[in-house]
Amino acid sequence: MTSIEPAPRPFGVSAAEAIELCREWMIFLGASDAVVAEGEVRQSCDLYSSRYLGWVDNGRGNLDVDAVEKAARLAKADGRLPLIFLRGGVRPVAQQKADALGVALLNYRARDSALDGRSQLGRELLVSGLAAR
């Protein structure tokens, strides 16, 4: 974790700004090659690096199990680890599925620039960083 922590966004973020914020979090945590997906790749994920695929859920609702299963399936087929950044909460069944499938759930708060792990892997990655995996 060698870069600068993302700055707070006191007025919140749009969907596109949320993706950029989460890219900054990936870089801060050690995935220095993280980029925003463009073109055809955007149909699969929002962010990617050499080791991770990332999705950003900027909605206010709770993350459902379908998003976790999709991320796990696509990341496994691609050979990378799945990260889901979310603004809202997580349904208990989705959190349990994330733990079972090895999906990192990371809850971001743009206004105060905070990031919390919402799954076992998410909590581990906040401690170890993304470069260590």
> What confidence score (pLDDT) does residue 124 get?
97
> What confidence score (pLDDT) does residue 132 get?
72
Whether the Cβ atoms of residue 35 and residue 48 lie closer than 8 Å to each other: yes
| Rounded average pLDDT over 41-69 | 94
> What confidence score (pLDDT) does residue 1 get?
47
SS3 49: coil
Is the pLDDT confidence value at 40 over 90? Answer: no
> What confidence score (pLDDT) does residue 58 get?
94
The three-state DSSP-derived secondary structure of 2-31 is CCCCCCCCCCCCCHHHHHHHHHHHHHHHCC
Calculate helix-pair angle for 120-128, 92-101, nearest 10 degrees: 60
CB atoms within 10 A of CB 121: 21
Q: Where do the structural domains in the chain lie, given as residue ranges?
A: 15-128
Phi, psi of 104 (to 5 degrees): -80, 120
Mean residue pLDDT of the chain comes to 94
Distance in angstroms (rounded) separating the CA atoms of residues 41 and 98: 23
| Rounded average pLDDT over 84-99 | 97
Is the pLDDT confidence value at 25 over 70? Answer: yes
Share of the chain above pLDDT 90, in %: 89
Is the pLDDT confidence value at 13 over 80? Answer: yes
Considering the four listed CATH numbers 3.40.1350, 2.60.40, 3.30.70, 3.40.50, the one that applies to the domain covering 15-128 is 3.40.1350
| Rounded average pLDDT over 41-60 | 93
> What confidence score (pLDDT) does residue 2 get?
52
